[in-house]
Amino acid sequence: MDMNILMLGWELPPHNSGGLGVACYHMSKALALQGANIDFVVPYQAEHVGINFMTVHGATSISPDDRYKTGAYDIYKENKKDTNSLNSMRDVQRKYIQYVEKLVLSKRPDVVHCHDWLTMEAGVRAKELVGCPLVVHVHATEFDRSGSQSGNQLVHDIEYNGLMMADRIIAVSGITKSIIMDKYSIPESKIEVVHNAIDVNDLNDGYIYDTRTYKYLEALKKEGYTVVSTITRFTIQKGLFHFIKAASKAIEKYGKLVFLLAGDGEQRDELVKLASDLGISDKIFFTGFVRGKQWRDAYSVSDIFVMSSVSEPFGLTALEAAHHNNALIITRQSGVGEVLNNIFRYDFWQEDVLADQIIGIATSSALRKSLQKNVKDEYCRLSWLDVAKSCSRVYNLAAKGLTL
Amino acid sequence: MNKHGVVLYLHVHQPFRLRSYSVFDTAINHNYFDDEKNEQVFKKVADKSYRPMNNLLKRMLEKHPEFKLSLSITGTFLEQAAAWAPDVLDSFKKLVATGRVEIVAETYYHSLAFFYSRDEFERQVKMHQDKIREIFNVDTKVFRNTELSYNNELAKWADDYGFKGILAEGWDPVLEWRSPNCVYKPAGTKNISLLLKNYRLSDDVAFRFSDKNWVDWPLTAHKYNEWVNSSVSDQSIVNLFMDYETFGEHQWIDTGIFDFYEEFIGRWLDNPDNTFYTISDAIEAFEPVAEISMPSTVTWADMERDLSAWTGNSMQQEALRYIYAMEDDIMRTGDMALINEWRDMQTSDNFYYMCTKWFTDGDVHAYFSPYSSPYDAFLYYLNAVRDLRWRLHHDHHTGGLNG
């Protein structure tokens, strides 16, 4: 494959806030390995050490941190009068589109591959300007991000327009594909499911678990406690209220459980309060936002990893947890469950079921060990190379679709 | 006929604040307290309040032979003063040495132990008495509990313990038609007298003095003196109880608080029928006029006059439950460093920082705390509790880790 691909993204490691940047990075790397020439546009200026397999373009002058200060949802703060302003998400997006316009006029790509609503407008604009095929990759929709609430109408509109204008759509799971069909009335024939993968080599980087990081939890484990964890943003999408209520129910039946909630987010205070309302504060460990060693060690100290999401298009953290020998309990509303069999599943509202599964794993070492071992065999089979191959296939379909 | 007297009583306290003690410190780093911040706060308040106010009090004692007052000074304050501002401690000693400044007893750690462990409570009262004797060479005769919390049971305890007086809030729902400007006898006691805070006249100074939206702002010494005179006209005493830090810290020097108080003291004593009493003097001078019963706890705090700012939400209740549940295991170790740190964590300020009621009311400005939110305060506290458990378990082979 020697295609010129214009990737439109919002973040790349190490300047990422979540899984989107990680997925874009590995996907691009695998495509580059197959011979693709990639121009990757991000909305900020920063060094990307270790990315030499593609050209990274910074579309604006802001720093990676400033990009998040604007907040993903303050999009109504658009500064219509001052066109040079970069104070809101809409300002940054407008600059981003202008940059992409110039880029495609100077060098027409064979395909434009954009990731999520933040860059969909730029992708549509590129297609309008130079007529290249447009692939829209959906990692999450506004329906996922807003939980059970209705979400932001402007974001919905941008997503709808992007999906309509796309020549092909890549959804990260069957769950996401259903949302695209049901909520945006896009025909099934236009959508391809390509599950994310995990780069085991990336995780086998000489990391050795440091038992001192969570020394207290390690001591509890020696006392026979089971550590149940989740590593996530504390937002409505993640279903953590149900998780804590289930924790309380589990503790009532079986005391030797501790819960590690690693991460931070707008719901943190409410979650802390809920735990104390339920009288289980000392069983729940809030670490705050974790990175690097603390992040890796959180997986390592944990025995059971729960993905409690109300709506999770994929959920890479579950695969990372599996890599670190966790037994997995995943909601049926999480896409990652589609590629794994050796897991417990529950619907996000089923607190009793979750409590039961936690106690079951905690009280049976045979069950715990077999879940931990068997899921490890499964996730190893998921590779980014396969993701790249699927993308290439989609690019070809998109190009053909356009010529028809 | 005894003179009308002002009973001025000031409460002096600084807590040992916890640092941002995280999960990653637990079982690894056993230093819970923010030494740097505590020293910084103490030195700031020393400059703004303790030094200028003690200076003022010293001058007033020299100038007016009838001027007297009472102080309660917590053990945690005395430790901090000794470490970070010995001159402040010396200035308090000089005040007490005049014989006209009475020291009031309380829990050494400014704790809520009375409500959670009677044994620990008594130990802390004893510790405070010993400390006061050691530093000031005086015996305490009057008791006040943390945040002026009071109920019949406390009065009975203080009576049995041998105190001659006890302090409480003069709260209208309890007093009904009665006045706070008299000496009372607590219900069911034998030898102890009760003095009640005149909260209107106390809070005019402590809370309203610099409030420009208050109809009586600006409060002049002349006006205030008239109010106090008229309040006490056919009665014995007026009990002005407040935080010492009112002077210079809660009300800054530029509000004129120091000049105001100096002038008030002079004006009050200009009337030959007026004087000042220490609490013991007042008890000596006046027989109780009646019995007062307070079956439920009353404090001097907030509109509710209860402990809700310390024990009102589930986080505070959990934290209190955890800390007092450790008592037996902690005491058995005999490890004084561990015991003292456990006690520093009992200081009521720690629970106050977890109060959410102002967050709920939207009045976040009323949240007076070194932390960014009550949730942070709670998490730091909880991590420190776990570390105490760790030390019990690891160093003393006692107690379980319990999550």
Please say whether the beta carbons of B74 and B109 come within 8 A: yes
| Cβ neighbours, 10 Å, residue B270 | 9
DSSP letters, B266-300, are HHHHHSTTEEE--HHHHHHH----SEE---S-B-S
Burial of B152 (0-12, 13-18, 19+ CB in 10 A): middle
Provide the pairing of β-strand B193-197 with B237-243.
unpaired
**Mean pLDDT across B141-151:** 98
Q: Which of A276, A280, A282 sits opposite B386 (nearest CB)?
A: A282
Strand, helix or coil at B203?
A: helix
**Mean pLDDT across A263-274:** 95
Q: How confident is the model at residue A404 (pLDDT cuts 50, 70, 90)?
A: very low
Q: How confident is the model at residue A370 (pLDDT cuts 50, 70, 90)?
A: confident
Provide the pairing of β-strand B142-143 with A4-8.
unpaired
Alpha-carbon gap: A348 to the closest alpha carbon of chain B (Å): 25
Neighbour-count burial for A223-248, b at 16+ CB within 10 Å, e otherwise: eebbbbbbbbbbbbbbbbbbbbbbbb
Residue recorded with tokens 């702002």: B217
Q: How confident is the model at residue B403 (pLDDT cuts 50, 70, 90)?
A: low
Q: Which residue, A315, A385, A378, is CA-closest to A26?
A: A385
Query: What residue type is A54 in one-letter code?
Result: M
Cβ pair B356:A214 closer than 8 A: no
| Dist CA A57 CA A68 (whole Å) | 18
Most confident of A46-50, A325-329, A366-370: A325-329
Q: How confident is the model at residue A72 (pLDDT cuts 50, 70, 90)?
A: very low
Please say whether the beta carbons of B207 and B214 come within 8 A: no
Domain ranges of chain A: 4-197+383-403, 202-379
What's the pLDDT at B161? 98
Judge whether residue A80 has pLDDT over 60.
Answer: no
Cβ pair A220:B403 closer than 8 A: yes
Q: Which two tokens stand for residue B345?
A: 């964590």
Residue recorded with tokens 């690693």: A262
| Dist CA A145 CA A99 (whole Å) | 27
What's the pLDDT at B372? 81
What's the pLDDT at A403? 43
Q: Which of B313, B318, B401 sits opposite A220 (nearest CB)?
A: B401
Q: Which two tokens stand for residue A136?
A: 């829209």
Using a CB-CB cut-off of 8 Å, the residues of chain A touching B28 are 212, 215
**Mean pLDDT across A208-234:** 95
Q: Do the domains A202-379 and A4-197+383-403 match in fold?
A: yes
Chains A and B: how many Cβ contacts under 8 Å? Answer: 70
Alpha-carbon gap: B355 to the closest alpha carbon of chain A (Å): 11
Please say whether the beta carbons of A103 and A125 come within 8 A: no
Please say whether the beta carbons of B178 and B290 come within 8 A: yes
Please say whether the beta carbons of A111 and A398 come within 8 A: yes
Strand, helix or coil at B1?
A: coil
How far does CA B142 lie from the centroid of its chain? 13
- The C-alpha angle with vertex A117 and arms to A111 and A118, in degrees rounded to 5, equals 90
The half-sphere exposure of A288 on its side-chain side, counting CA atoms within 13 A, is 10
Using a CB-CB cut-off of 8 Å, the residues of chain A touching B378 are 272, 276, 281
What's the pLDDT at A73? 44
Judge whether residue B364 has pLDDT over 90.
Answer: no
**Mean pLDDT across A187-191:** 95
Provide the pairing of β-strand B183-186 with B193-197.
antiparallel
Q: What is the DSSP letter of B47?
A: I
Mean pLDDT is lowest, of A19-23, A74-78, B85-89, B295-299, for: A74-78
Contacts 24+ apart (CB under 8 A), A179-185: A179/A141, A179/A143, A179/A144, A179/A311, A180/A138, A180/A141, A183/A141, A183/A143, A184/A141, A184/A159, A184/A160
For the stretch A90-133, pLDDT in tens is: 889 999 999 999 999 999 999 999 999 999 999 999 999 999 99
Provide the pairing of β-strand A257-262 with A327-331.
unpaired
Q: How confident is the model at residue B30 (pLDDT cuts 50, 70, 90)?
A: very high
Q: How confident is the model at residue B357 (pLDDT cuts 50, 70, 90)?
A: confident
Cβ pair B23:A212 closer than 8 A: no
Report in angstroms the alpha-carbon separations of B78 from A126, A155, B39: 72, 60, 13
What's the pLDDT at B367? 66
Cβ pair A216:B386 closer than 8 A: yes
Judge whether residue A354 has pLDDT over 70.
Answer: yes
**Mean pLDDT across A231-242:** 94
Neighbour-count burial for B79-95, b at 16+ CB within 10 Å, e otherwise: bbbeebbeebbebbeeb
What's the pLDDT at A83? 55
Alpha-carbon gap: A77 to the closest alpha carbon of chain B (Å): 25
Q: How confident is the model at residue A148 (pLDDT cuts 50, 70, 90)?
A: low
Q: Which CATH architecture has domain A4-197+383-403?
A: 3-Layer(aba) Sandwich (3.40)
Query: For chain B, what is the mean pLDDT?
Result: 95
| Dist CA A192 CA A391 (whole Å) | 9
Q: Choose, from B120, B147, B169, B249, the residue flagged as catalytic.
A: B147
Most confident of A206-210, A378-382, B39-43: B39-43
Q: Which two tokens stand for residue B400?
A: 């379980």
What's the pLDDT at A79? 47
What's the pLDDT at A76? 46
- The topology under which CATH files domain B4-292 is 7-stranded beta/alpha barrel (3.20.110)
**Mean pLDDT across A56-83:** 66
Widest pairwise Cα distance in chain A = 67
Q: Which residue, A163, A153, A175, is CA-closest to A73?
A: A153
For chain B, what percent of residues have pLDDT higher than 70? 97
Domain ranges of chain B: 4-292, 309-396
Neighbour-count burial for A344-382, b at 16+ CB within 10 Å, e otherwise: bbbebebbeebbbbbbbbbeeeeebeebbeebeebbeeb
Dihedral pair phi/psi, residue A284, rounded to 5°: -120, 125
Alpha-carbon gap: A246 to the closest alpha carbon of chain B (Å): 17
Please say whether the beta carbons of A231 and A257 come within 8 A: no
Cβ pair A212:B28 closer than 8 A: yes
Residues 6+ apart with CB under 8 A from A124: A134, A161, A162, A165
| Dist CA A404 CA A290 (whole Å) | 49
The half-sphere exposure of B120 on its side-chain side, counting CA atoms within 13 A, is 26
What's the pLDDT at A69? 58
Please say whether the beta carbons of B388 and B342 come within 8 A: yes
B-contacting residues of A 183-212, CB under 8 Å? 212
Q: Which of A223, A258, A269 sits opposite B375 (nearest CB)?
A: A269
| Dist CA A158 CA A147 (whole Å) | 18
What's the pLDDT at A2? 80
Using a CB-CB cut-off of 8 Å, the residues of chain B touching A268 are 375
Cβ pair A294:B24 closer than 8 A: yes
Neighbour-count burial for A19-28, b at 16+ CB within 10 Å, e otherwise: bbbbbbbbbb
Mean pLDDT is lowest, of A11-15, A229-233, A308-312, for: A11-15
Task: Report which secondary-structure segment, H or E, holds A330.
Answer: strand A327-331
Cβ pair A216:B402 closer than 8 A: no
Using a CB-CB cut-off of 8 Å, the residues of chain A touching B313 are 273, 276
Judge whether residue B182 has pLDDT over 70.
Answer: yes
Please say whether the beta carbons of A328 and A340 come within 8 A: yes
Q: Is B176 tagged catalytic?
A: no
Q: Which residue, A284, A262, A257, A263, is CA-closest to A272?
A: A284
**Mean pLDDT across B363-370:** 70
For the stretch B314-341, pLDDT in tens is: 889 999 999 999 999 999 999 999 999 9
Query: For chain A, what is the mean pLDDT?
Result: 90
Q: Which residue, A225, A213, A311, is CA-closest to A262?
A: A213
What's the pLDDT at A379? 86
Alpha-carbon gap: A290 to the closest alpha carbon of chain B (Å): 11
Mean pLDDT is lowest, of A126-130, B21-25, B69-73, B166-170, for: B21-25
CA end-to-end distance (rounded Å), chain A: 22
- The topology under which CATH files domain A202-379 is Rossmann fold (3.40.50)
Judge whether residue A85 has pLDDT over 70.
Answer: no
Q: What is the DSSP letter of B362?
A: T
